[in-house]
Structures are given as structure tokens and as C-alpha cells.
Amino acid sequence: MPARPLKQIHLAAQLPSVQHTVIWSDPSAGSQIAFDSFAHLARTAERGRFDFFFLSEGLRLREHKGRVLDLDVAGRPEALTVLAALSAVTDRIGLAATVNSTFNEPYEVARRLATLDHLSGGRAAWNVVTSWDAFTGENFRRGGFLAEADRYTRAAEFLHTARELWDSWRPGDFRADAAAGEFVRPGAGRFAHRGRHFDIAGRFSTPPGPQGHPVVFQAGDSPEGREFAAADADVIFSRHADLASGQAAYRDVKARLAKYGRSPADLKIIPSVSYVLGDTPAEAAERAEEVARAQVSPQTALMLLEAAWGRDLSGYDPDGPLPDVDPVPENVVTKGHNLYRSRGREETVRHWRKTAEERGLSIRELIVEVTARPTFVGTPRQVADAMNAFVQSDAADGFVFSPNVVPGGLDELVDRVVPLLQEMGVHRAEYTGSTLRDHLGLKPARRHFEETP
Amino acid sequence: MTHLHLAVALDGTGWHPAAWREPDARPAEILTARYWADLVLEAERGLLDFVTVEDALGLQTSAFHRPDDRTDHVRGRLDAVLLTAALAPLTSHIGLVPTTNVTHTEPFHLAIGIASLDHASLGRAGWRPQITSRAADAAHFGRRTTPQLTDADVLDSELIAARLRGLFAEAHEVVEAVRRLWDSWEDDAEIRDTATGRYLDAAKVHHVDFAGAHFSVRGPSITPRPPQGQPVVAVLAHASTPYELAAAGADVVFLTPQSRPDSVARLDAFARARQHSARPAADPVRTFADLVVFLDDAPGRAAERKQRLDERDGGAFGSDALVFTGTPAELADLLLDWRTTGLDGFRLRPGALPHDLTAITRGLVPELQRRGAFRTAYEADTLRALLRLPRPANRYAPAG
């Protein structure tokens, strides 16, 4: 079999927030809100020649038993505003933000993303997510939550409309030609969109940035989410980080592209992962154990258990066995937390009970087990090899690293693992392009006026 | 004698519509970070209190109340909140005050955007809320109609105020909701108590439960209370209804006097609005007068320059604010004279960029310093402190 060339690993970093996996109690943990923390992480990722730095979004603080959840990191800045500030202190790294398509309007989102693309010289990306819950809707003047079935139809039309707005300025429309006295071409920015969710028309105020269209991400892993990504996204955040399920999801997603006239290289599949390093395998394993226990305090173990059961379980010992009471059907205990949404709570509880019974786990041990996220554990060499094996065997095209500690949690990866990947020839030593599209090896965005009818 | 306060209003290539065709203008760069960084760094070298950046949710127009199809004026611009955020790490003292629309934009998004600008700038954020009644802007959202002004309305600022009373009432609510969201976290809500495993004290993070005639917001904010507690809210006001908005909710009001007596009249009108407002009289509000300025050292040169720009544009440029042409020393005379009416400072709108900005920072500022009327170094790190506005107590925190 002819050897195929080594795939390049796409690397990205996320500033972790609001998950119980963020170890705020670590002695090295700094502010989750100060701009310095964001700048440190983004610059560290840029030092490692990562493709992009990513910020997630949340539009309502989580609540537990009627109060703001107090155990996890809470509070974060508005993502695009921080990324705009980061554009001034970084040069090459992509700047990606989640922006919800339910509680926003296309005109505003399109101009903010075009603005970030201008300010950063072509480094903007948008992770399109959906939401429908009334709990979040309470923070918005239009209340505007959606029927769950409508979330992807609105998201798809939202994205389509944003692309129409970016395309409302054609190349050369922004002239600034002082000699001719023509600043813009007639009709620049004119648009009209009439659809089920949006009926808008007028003049778009912001010419598109250097990338034409910012890079578009999609994070959902449902069949609708995968289809949405295959049709219209450049990157998908997969949830699969074990080899077999990663490969299966990879095949499935890439196979969906052809019917949209796209090739497998047009959509990058990048799971979210973390890492723990040690000088020896044993030391790494020991540190991973410490990390897991720091992530799941006794209080957090009970909180997550209550979230699954939908009822108060404060009388139970976190180091004891699982409760023998049944979960309640309607979860009134936790709001804004979607840990159990994909499987359903009844099924989640059944599965947890079985796991705990089979392996003799306490509540806290079980929670450590079932909430563990994909993590590379080992020596720097082991981690580099594992990452590379994962990518070369088509289980992913790269990884988004979500470190355990802010702001220093990426330092070890960049200092100790990235050089190995560079030596292996699977990660760039220097940026070769200036835009995020360049880093990801994406074609220029196809703009509507370029399509032949 | 306290120093007067000075701000500049930045927009495009300056306020004269033909300014972009001047030889030193950089019109092709108005969508780049570098262009704006050069301007704001110049303003900071001049020790100015703050810069404002204009914005709107529609393409620029040279008609006050409706779009035009002109192609010979600056068109196209960046989102002002993001633009000022990109300027924050490049500067260290100057205040950054973006304009945002409050008619179509969600109050929650406004609150977290400005709070985030305050975090990124370590306490130098301001916010200028602005209503829009343009039907064309409403059509960009497709969700509501707004009271479109007629050509007759725009001849009289009180007619405008009357027509837009509903939008201003809604703007009151937006400012109130945003201010509550900024207070929704007490300053010491984050406790990181490892003994109990609590990252924050839930009793110090509050639902705001704003319910007005136009919308409701439950809260709390997702963004912890910004460094200034409350970023500086600035309102441009020409008539009764916006005076009421400024009286009720602003830290800074921009007035547009046409003369010294008119400055007295407008300050009086604003003072009356304050008396009718429910807000405590002790809350300080800084009064600024807006002026469009064309400045040259040689006597008569600025007026000639403006005339040349007017001829190029095919009409005399006028504005809601007084258009001043003269030397920096003449402008200093006017500012010091008008200040005696009770104004705290001035927001100068440069006629052409960079020319009139550098005339402010390198001509006017030294002139005012010579007269002992302007600072010679920044004396504070936050915008509130520069403006001698106190950091407000949190309305949700227990007193004492």
C-alpha cells in the first residue's frame, strides 16, 4: 500500500469556564474574568502555532435548587468583545466565538463577525449553536425561545442570512477613491431576505472582512447537527475521543459532504479534549487521579447526582453507595445544565446504577467515572504519539484543548508536547498563512455572487 | 479652578462629509484596527478624557432620518463595541465610549458587551445608548416598526422629541435594565472557598427581575460586575425627552449649545429635567458641550479649509452642534468662556481626520495647559476617576 502523506494535526485551545472540570481551587489558578487570563491563554496557543483560540458562550447562569450554582466557575465576559481585544495582542491565531442563533439577529451577528474579521486581519470564526429553552429566554426582551424542532431550521436560515449579508458587498464595492470622488459603488450592501424565520431587507453596514465569510463551526453531534455541519460548516466539534467511535463519527460526517458538492477536506473534525502530563507514565497517572478528584469534590458529586435524579439528595454520603430512591420525572432541581440531555435522565440513572453496582463505586467515584472527559494522559512523548495516532487513523483532524486550569493550563502542552509534534512533522513550526482559513487549509468562502446559475 | 474635561468624537474620516478626500486622510483604512489605533493613541498622547465612536444599525446616511443613496460620502463601518475593545489593550488611560443602538439590540447583550469592555480596559469603558426611529433600520430586523420621522419633523428638535417619546421611554428601560445587570453581581461575589467547595457566594449574585412596559429581563448577568461598577453612561441630548433620559440615567450628557447664552439655556433646561427626575440630586452628572471643530494655526485658514471642503461636497456643511472654525487659541478662548456657564467639559468632533485631531492634541491642549485649564498628566486610571465620578455602591448589596 502506498504510504499516504502524514496528516497535519489542527490544534486549537479553549478557555474553559463554567464546567466542573475547571479546577479553580488549584494554587496556580488565576482569574476567570481578567483580560490577562485570556491574553495569556491566547498568546500561549499562538506560541504553539495553534489554529485558533475559542470561547464558548452562556446566556444564563446555571441554577441549582433555586439558587445560582455556586460550586463551579460562574461568570464570563461576552466572547466577541474579548476576542476583539485579543486581536490587538495576537498576530496570527484564529479567534473563534460561540454565538447563539436563537437569542440574536442575523444583521447584528453578521456585522459583529465581519468587524472581528477586519480587526484581526482575517482570523474570525463563529460557532453556530442553537438553544430553545425558556429558562435562557427569560433574559431577553423578546423572550424568544423556540420549539425544539425549530432550532436547526432557525440556525440554518440564520447562517444563510448572515452569508447573504456578507455577500451584499461585492469585491470593489468599497472603493474609497478620492480622485474619482466615489467612496462606494452604487447599491453596495443592498440585500433582501425573505424566509420563515427572517424577513429583512435594506443596506448592510459593514463590508466583509479579509476572509469574506468568517470560518463557521458547528458543535452539535445529533444527526441534524451533523447534517447542518455537512451542508454549511467548515469545522465540527465532535464529541468522540475514543478511537473506534471517533472513526465511526468521522466516516459518517465526511460521507455526508458529497451530497452538498463538498469534499472531505472541506470540513475539519475536531474533538474537545484535555491532557495531563508526567515525567513518567506512573507520575502522569497519579496526576490524572489528582485532577479527577479536584474536579469532583464531594459537593460537586452530590450536585451532579441531584441534577440527574431531579431531587434533593443532600442527606446522602458522597463516599457511600448510590441512593435507592427513584428519580423524579420533571427536573426542577437544575436549570441551565444539559449534562443529561442527550441520553435522557431515566436512562442516565439506569446506566449509572448499573455501572456503580458492577464496579462497586461510591457516588463520588461514579461521578468521576461518568463525567470524565476525553483526556490524553502520559509522558509528553506518549501524548504526542497518541494524538498523532488518533489523527493519522482518521478518528479526527485535530483537537481543541480545554485545559484544567486558567490561565496556565496550556503551558505544559505548548512547551513539552508541541515541539515533539513539530519534530514528527505533523504540526507547523511557523504559520504559513495569515488567516484562519489558511491555517485550516480551507478554500476561500464561496460567495453567492460567484456561483454560476 | 478645576481642569475642564475634553473628549473627541471619532467617526469615519471626520465629521465633514468631504474630509475623506483630503490628502492626509486614510479613507481606505477605516475598516482596519491600525487606523483607529493611530487616532486613539494620538488622543491619549493629548491626555484627553475619552473618545467616543459612532455607530448605527444601518449604512451611514447624510439625511438625518432616512437613508440616502449617496456614493460620494464615507459608507461602511465597524461595530463600535468591538472596535473600542480592540483599542483597549493598546491604550492605558483614555476612556473608550462606543455608541450602541438600544431600539433593536437586546439589553442583555448590551450589558455584557459594555461590562466586557470595562474588564478588558481595566475600568475605562463608557456607553452611549442611542435610539433609532429609521424605518430602514427596523427593516434590518423585521420585528417591529418605529415612528419614522417626516421631513417636517426634523426641522424642530421638540417635534422630534414628541414623535419619539415612546422610543425614549423604552430607552429609559434599557438603561435601567443594563445598570441593574451590571450590579447583579456584588463586587465580592467570587469567594473561591475551598473549605466548602464554593466558587461564589450565591447570596451575592442577584436576579434583577426588570419588568417594564416594553420587555423584561430576569438576570443575573453572566458577566461579573465590571471594574468601574457602573461604566460611564453618556447621552447626547437636544431636547426635552432626551434631557429626561440623561437626567434619569446618564453620568455624562452631551449638549449642543450654539452660543454662550444658549449654553446657559440648555444647562437650565437640563437642570429642570433633573429636578423632575426621581434620581437623587446628589448623583453627579458631567455636562459636556459638543462642537464640530476645524483648527489651523494661521488666522482664517480653518475657515478657508472648511469652505474648500464645502465646495468639494457641493453644499455648506452644518451640524446639530456649533461648527467652529479658527485657531487653537481662539477655540481655547471660546471653551474657557463657555465653561463659565457651568459646563464641565467639551466633546470636540474633528472636522477632518487626522488634521483636526492633531490640532486638538498638539495645539489646543498645550494652549489650555498654558492657561492652567487642562491636565498635564493623567491623574487616574479609570474613566470614572478621570471624570471625578464616584464608583457607585451596588444597589443589591446590603448597606453599610
What is residue A453's predicted lDDT score, i.e. its pLDDT?
40
Of A423 and A219, more confident: A423
Task: Enumerate the residues of chain B whose CB falls inside 8 A of the CB of residue A66.
Answer: none
Chain A residue with the nearest C-alpha to that of B134: A202
B112 to A204: CB separation less than 8 angstroms, yes or no: no
**Phi/psi at B205 (nearest 5 deg)?**
-125, 125
Q: Which three cell numbers stand for residue A313?
A: 439528595
Mean pLDDT of A98-107: 93
Each residue's pLDDT tens digit, A354-377: 999 999 999 999 999 988 888 999
Q: B253: pLDDT confidence band, cut at 50, 70 and 90? A: very high
Binding-face residues of B in 211-250 toward A, CB within 8 A: 214-220, 222-224
pLDDT in tens, B196-211: 999 999 999 999 999 9
User: Model confidence over A275-328: pLDDT tens digits?
Assistant: 999 999 999 999 999 999 999 999 999 999 998 888 899 999 999 999 999 888
Chain A residue numbers touching B194 (CB-CB < 8 A): 25
Q: Tell me if A13 sits within 8 A of A45, measured CB to CB.
A: yes
- The pLDDT tens digits for B26-49 are 999 999 999 999 999 999 999 999
pLDDT for A233: 94
- Angle at which helices A79-87 and B107-120 cross, to 10°: 30
Minimum distance, in Å, between the CA of residue A91 and any CA atom of chain B: 12
Cβ-based neighbour number of residue A30 at 10 Å: 15
Query: How much is the pLDDT for A433?
Result: 96
Q: Which of A71, A139, A302 to mutate to test the interface with B (most CBs of B within 10 A)?
A: A139
Q: Looking at residue A242, what is its pLDDT? A: 80
Query: Distance (Å) from the C-alpha of residue A63 to the closest C-alpha of chain B?
Result: 10
Give the integer Cα–Cα distance in Å for B174 and A161.
Answer: 27
The pLDDT confidence band at residue A147, using thresholds 50, 70 and 90, is confident
Given a cut of 70, whether residue B400 has pLDDT beyond it is: no
* 3-state SS, one letter per residue, for chain B: CCCCEEEEEECECECCCCHHHCCCCCHHHCCCHHHHHHHHHHHHHCCCCEEEECCCCCCCCCCCCCCCCCCCCCCCCCCHHHHHHHHHHHCCCCEEEEEEECCCCCHHHHHHHHHHHHHHCCCCEEEEEECCCCHHHHCCCCCCCCCCCCCCHHHCHHHHHHHCHHHHHHHHHHHHHHHHHHHCECCCCEEEECCCCEEECHHHECCCCEECCCCEECCCCCCCCCCCCCCEEEEECCCHHHHHHHHHHCCEEEECCCCHHHHHHHHHHHHHHHHHCCCCCCCCCEEEEEEEEEECCCCCHHHHHHHHHHHHHCCCCCCCCEEEEECHHHHHHHHHHHHCCCCCEEEEEECCCCHHHHHHHHHHHHHHHHCCCCCCCCCCCCHHHHCCCCCCCCCCCCCC
Q: What is the mean pLDDT of residues B315-321?
A: 95
Give the pLDDT confidence of A22-68 residue by residue, as tens digits.
Answer: 999 999 999 999 999 999 999 999 999 999 999 999 899 999 988 99
pLDDT over 70 at A340, yes or no: no
| pLDDT, position B160 | 87
Could you tell me which residues come within 8 angstroms of residue A131 by beta carbon, excluding any fewer than 6 positions away?
A: A59, A100, A102, A103, A145, A146, A151
Separation of alpha carbons A156 and A154, rounded Å: 5
The pLDDT assigned to A342 comes to 63
Please state the rounded mean pLDDT for residues A443-452: 76
What tens digit of pLDDT does each residue of A60-93 get? 999 998 899 999 999 999 999 999 999 999 999 9
* Across B370-389, average pLDDT: 98
Q: Under an 8 A CB cutoff, do B106 and A142 touch?
A: yes
Closest Cα in chain A, distance from residue B303 (Å):
22
Residues 65 to 84 of B: which have CB under 8 A from any A CB?
67, 69, 71-79, 81-83
Q: What is the pLDDT of residue A1?
A: 57
Judge: A67–B85 Cβ closer than 8 Å, yes or no: no
pLDDT band of A452, cuts 50, 70, 90: very low
pLDDT at B187 over 60: yes
